[in-house]
């Protein structure tokens, strides 16, 4: 089995081509592609990325016996679906090591070849500051506009801005019906920018104006005190005990979160499915 890593670089920069890499560390093997600055507008950026990565997978001879670690970026959403549908072993991961190094150094090489100062580099993953420096450099000379990406073809379709997920512990208001969205119940989040600031709107799943393309919802259908409840499986924010078995659930581990009236219900998913829970 070979372990492969798929990473990108430059996606947040307004100029220069995004770099895509497929690497294995043992044996050391590196494949890479760059996205064009523009292309036929009928092709989404996710489709373009998928096409390029598929080329690398075939070129590298990746098989279903191998394991792939893939960046969680939305750029790879179509790839994520394809890997699952075709029976590949994979999971998302934050990239470090060779994949990250190759992607970032390749993106930096593009900049330097175009005349960008080689002493200005990405430091400690401070992408905002680094890309701001690139933007300032581009604006210093009109001839450098040739390096600017075509953002029209990279614009996300509306459904990519809507995510089906579980509400957290806060009561929110649906942006359509204005009724409450109760904690730990399904909701659709719409993410957008206004005057450069990231903002969100929230909807009941039945109220959303656009069907979400991404599903992060992990519902939990449980019985508590002889009542059927629908909660959500979410990472635990702080260490606290399961209400069924009393064992502590560490912060960061996933657990069932739900409400019965004003009573907060919390615990291991398996505990709520066990016969012992029938006694509650």
Mean pLDDT (whole number) for 75-90: 92
pLDDT of residue 96: 86
Beta bridge partners of 212: none
Query: Considering the chain, what percentage of its residues have pLDDT values greater than 90?
Result: 73
Please say whether the structural domain 3-147 has been given the CATH code 2.60.40.10.
no
pLDDT of residue 100: 94
pLDDT of residue 147: 96
For the segment 258-267, what is each residue's pLDDT rounded down to a tens digit?
999 889 999 9
- What span, in angstroms and rounded, lies between the C-alpha atoms of 187 and 208? 9
pLDDT of residue 26: 93
C-alpha distances (whole Å) from 247 to each of 113, 119, 252 are: 58, 53, 15
- What span, in angstroms and rounded, lies between the C-alpha atoms of 15 and 148? 4
| Token pair for 58 | 């075939």
Superfamily of the domain at 158-214: Zinc finger, PARP-type (3.30.1740.10)
For the segment 130-162, what is each residue's pLDDT rounded down to a tens digit?
999 999 999 999 999 999 999 888 876 666 688
What is the overall mean pLDDT for the chain?
Answer: 91
Mean pLDDT (whole number) for 175-199: 88
Query: Considering the chain, what percentage of its residues have pLDDT values greater than 70?
Result: 95
* pLDDT at residue 276 is higher than 60: no
| Token pair for 212 | 């979400």
Mean pLDDT (whole number) for 6-34: 95
What residue segments make up the domains of the chain, in order of their start? 3-147, 158-214, 219-279
pLDDT of residue 214: 81
pLDDT of residue 182: 93
């Amino acid at each position: 089995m070979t372990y492969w890593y798929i990473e990108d670089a430059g996606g947040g920069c307004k100029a220069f081509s995004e770099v895509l890499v497929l690497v294995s560390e043992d044996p050391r093997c590196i494949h890479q592609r760059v996205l064009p600055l523009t292309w036929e507008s009928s092709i989404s950026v996710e489709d373009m990325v998928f096409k390029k990565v598929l080329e690398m997978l075939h070129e590298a001879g990746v098989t279903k016996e191998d394991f792939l670690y893939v960046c969680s970026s939305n750029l790879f959403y179509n790839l994520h679906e394809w890997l699952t549908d075709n029976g590949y072993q994979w999971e998302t991961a934050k990239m470090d090591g060779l994949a990250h190094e190759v992607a970032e150094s390749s993106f930096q090489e593009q900049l330097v070849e175009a005349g960008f100062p080689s002493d200005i580099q990405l430091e400690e993953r401070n992408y905002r500051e680094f890309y701001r420096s690139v933007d300032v450099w581009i604006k210093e000379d009109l001839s450098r506009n040739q390096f600017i990406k075509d953002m029209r073809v990279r614009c996300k379709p509306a459904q990519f801005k809507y995510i089906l997920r579980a509400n957290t512990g806060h009561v929110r208001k649906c942006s359509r019906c204005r009724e409450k969205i109760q904690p730990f119940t399904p909701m659709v989040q719409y993410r957008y920018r206004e005057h450069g600031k990231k903002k969100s709107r929230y909807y009941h799943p039945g109220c959303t104006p656009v069907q979400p393309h991404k599903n992060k919802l992990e519902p939990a259908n449980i019985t508590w005190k002889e009542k059927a409840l629908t909660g959500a499986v979410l990472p635990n924010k702080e260490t606290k005990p399961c209400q069924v078995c009393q064992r502590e659930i560490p912060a960061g581990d996933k657990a069932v979160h739900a409400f019965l009236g004003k009573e907060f219900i919390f615990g291991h998913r398996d505990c709520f499915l066990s016969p012992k829970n029938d006694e509650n």
